[in-house]
Amino acid sequence: MTDTLSAPHALAPQTGPAPQKLKRSIGVVGGTLLTLSCVTPASTLFVVVPDLFGSVGTFTALTIAIGSLLCVGVAFVYSELGTLIPSAGGEYAMVSTLAGRLAGWLVFVLSLLVVMIVPPVIAMGTADYLAPLVHIPAPLAGAGVMLLATLAGLLDLRANAWITGIFLVLEVIAAGIVAILGFAHTQRGAGALLHGEVATGDGTSSLVTGALVVSGLAIALFITQGFSTAVYLSEELENPRRSVARTVLATLAISTAVILVPVVAITLGADDLGALTGGDISGMITAWSNSAVGTFISLCVALAIINAGIVMVIQNSRVLFASARDKAWPRPVNDALSRLGRFGSPWVATLVVGVPGAALCFVNLDTLYGVTGVSVTGMYLLVSVAALFSRRGAHREVAAWRMPLWPAVPALLILVLAYVLSMQETEYLLWTGGITAVATLYWALYLRPRRETRWLVSVPEDEQHV
């Protein structure tokens, strides 16, 4: 990985006109609320987890637990690199600075895939949970949520922190009710969590193999991956050298509990293996209680999905804003994407994220899931590689939160994530690989020949003193 930015260049302000800066307006609590809302535990539980039930059955809780353990190592990496290089660019700023500009560009492309695909994937789940009141096709419901989230994303970040905080409370209440109902209607012992079975189409069951669990880890990583939002918000967090790590680790701990406990309860409380594999959580809730409770939970989940859309649009617009500030595109594009509105938000970048996101709601959902899983795994892999270089040269002396057991943690993550990546379906590997190949051509033909004026990754000057 060559063409690495030197520490002085990476940590110094750019020359020329001062770039526009995002406003510091939130602390650890506000950052945690926004980040938790991006993980969106309840909507993830109701929208993404059912697909995992369909593939690994009673091993779903185990798969999520293993993924969460992997995410502890990933959270350590993000906490150290996020405080060492606090930039709205997130992963790409960290990797560009530590492992090279080409590696950073590839991480940016993978993160862009994730930030463009995940919101519509979650948003399309709204239709199922609005069904008690109104029937709307999933693509139309998802597109509506994306447009609504885009409008909210144009507001001041502090206002959005309060909005998403209120919605988050409803999410946690919904997840808590599901856990209580599931445990109260337990049909099988705790041993079922360690005995992998999944229902087949002919009414029988089959054992879940280790290969299926490993393959499912890509989705498991996707389920809790939103904790990285704290890094994207680092330019708007007060005292980022301390608050980024606290926000990342707190978010991972809370989101894992909010997701994993109800998953265990659902696994134990499902009437039969077919119901569990079918993943109809709303139907289970209604069977455990009554239609009124089922409707309440469904509406809470619908609000949670809208909440997730708002926070994801906020996060993702910051990625595009940072890429424009770092001159990743031709000048007219950079000027547009780095433009801030009256509320201090990057309004053009927000529209660029939200409107195409609405269009993606009409793409096949399985393809979106597959490409996202591959992209998240590949992105974590490259960030872990960058972590191996986080304590060399001038970076060794920079004030930052430092992970325990370095370099063993990133080295182990690299091995495990590479194996998980190798177990993904060829179709999704080819889709992601093809997009990455096109991005590499853009780097080779446009960015690299203009290395003095393009892709100038930097951290705002005042970050060094907070």
The full set of domain ranges for the chain reads 26-455
- Band the pLDDT of 461: cuts 50, 70, 90: low
Q: Any idea which residue has 């926070």 for tokens?
A: 311
**Strand positions, DSSP E, 182-284:** 197-199, 205-207
Whether the upstream peptide bond of residue 330 has omega within 30° of 0, thus cis, is no
Residues 97 and 330: their CA atoms lie apart, in Å, by 22
* pLDDT confidence of residue 269: 92
Does 1 have pLDDT greater than 60? no
Asked if 128 contacts 286 with a C-beta cutoff of 8 angstroms, the reply is: no
Does 449 have pLDDT greater than 90? yes
Give 435 or 233, the one with higher predicted confidence.
435
Give 379 or 85, the one with higher predicted confidence.
379
Round the average pLDDT of the chain to a whole number and report it.
Answer: 81
* pLDDT confidence of residue 25: 55
Containing 446, the helix (H) or strand (E) segment is none
Asked if 69 contacts 288 with a C-beta cutoff of 8 angstroms, the reply is: no
112-116, 335-339, 426-430, range with greatest mean pLDDT: 426-430
Q: For the domain covering 26-455, report its CATH number.
A: 1.20.1740.10
* pLDDT confidence of residue 26: 67
Q: What is the dihedral of CA 159, 160, 161, 164, to 10 degrees?
A: 130
Q: What is the arithmetic mean of pLDDT over 57-74? A: 90
| 67, burial (CB in 10 Å: exposed 0-12, middle 13-18, buried 19+) | buried
CA angle 138, 53, 299 (to 5 degrees): 40
Q: What is the arithmetic mean of pLDDT over 18-42? A: 67
Does 260 have pLDDT greater than 90? yes
* pLDDT confidence of residue 9: 41
* pLDDT confidence of residue 372: 86
Residues 349 and 336: their CA atoms lie apart, in Å, by 8
Among 315, 359, 386, which residue's Cα sits nearest to residue 114?
A: 315
Q: What is the arithmetic mean of pLDDT over 232-258? A: 80
* pLDDT confidence of residue 350: 86
List, for residues 375-390, the tens digit of each pLDDT value: 989 999 999 999 999 8
Q: Which residues contact 239 (CB under 8 A, 6 or more apart)?
A: 27, 466
Containing 132, the helix (H) or strand (E) segment is none
Among 22, 148, 85, which residue's Cα sits nearest to residue 386?
A: 85
Does 462 have pLDDT greater than 90? no
Residue 405's identity, in one-letter code, is: L
- Band the pLDDT of 373: cuts 50, 70, 90: confident
Residues 89 and 99: their CA atoms lie apart, in Å, by 15
**Model pTM?**
0.77
Q: Which residues contact 332 (CB under 8 A, 6 or more apart)?
A: none
54-58, 197-201, 311-315, 446-450, range with greatest mean pLDDT: 446-450
Range in 85-99, 232-246, 362-376 with the lowest mean pLDDT: 232-246
